Amino acid sequence: MFSLQNKSAIITGAGSGIGRAIAECFVTAGATVHGVDLNTSTFPTGVLPHACDVTSATAVANLAAQVLSTSGRIDILVNAAGIAHVGKLESTPEADFDRVYAVNVKGIFLMMQAVIAAMKNQRQGVILNVGSIAATVGIPDRFAYSTSKGAVLSMTLSVAKDYIAEGIRCNSISPARVHTPFVDGFIAKNYPGKEKEMFEKLSRTQPIGRMAAPSEVAALALYLCSDEAGFITGCDYPIDGGFIKLNN
């Protein structure tokens, strides 16, 4: 089950964290994986590398053309590229807000726009956007990030509605905290000398008592992009260790 044999997939943010785990998982499942990131040196084995700035319309259009030239089709798009930001409304500079919006919202918009014609021609395609529980749950000091992830959820529902007749499915996944290099870097930068204490504190914010492993998020992505999930579209899937429903 959940084979991606003979599928061509584009995965953004494939150089680290969740995107890298999804790329590795999809290669194992048999897909031809086109990895997208600014830095391609950390891609998993078997991923076809594409250095691309997802905030550039020209770069994204060229990327889609390259993938079509190489693989002949685009079956799956996973938008995992994203950046975070710490700050509430009054402590968020305009430049930081614009930067988060450019990557987390405009980047997904451009990537979906670049592949939609190919998927329509095929009468088949799957788009999966990596969102966050921040889209639906208030998280302190995450104003710009939460705003961007709310937009990801809305874009997902809009695309699912508009292209269902063309055989294109569009869903999103919303993780809580995932143990990625970003988390380790964030703790080291903001809490020097208290890394272990803060890691445990952040882990406990999930009722299950730990952060997710990137591979667990990748497993959910694999299912949603497989033919076995062919009846699922227009849905957001929290993968949150009970954060949304059990955090009272």
Give the residue numbers annotated as catalytic, written as ranges: 145
Q: Indicate the DSSP class of residue 60.
A: H
Distance in angstroms (rounded) separating the CA atoms of residues 101 and 73: 29
Residues belonging to the chain: 248
Q: Do 68 and 74 contact (CB within 8 A), yes or no? A: yes
Q: Do 122 and 69 contact (CB within 8 A), yes or no? A: no
Kindly state the tokens that stand for 12.
């953004």
Q: Do 78 and 225 contact (CB within 8 A), yes or no? A: yes
Sheet of strand 8-12: strand arrangement: 48-51, 32-37, 8-12, 76-79, 125-130, 168-175, 236-239
Q: Do 46 and 29 contact (CB within 8 A), yes or no? A: no
Q: Do 144 and 92 contact (CB within 8 A), yes or no? A: yes
Distance in angstroms (rounded) separating the CA atoms of residues 65 and 72: 10
3-state secondary structure of 10: strand
Q: Indicate the DSSP class of residue 14.
A: T
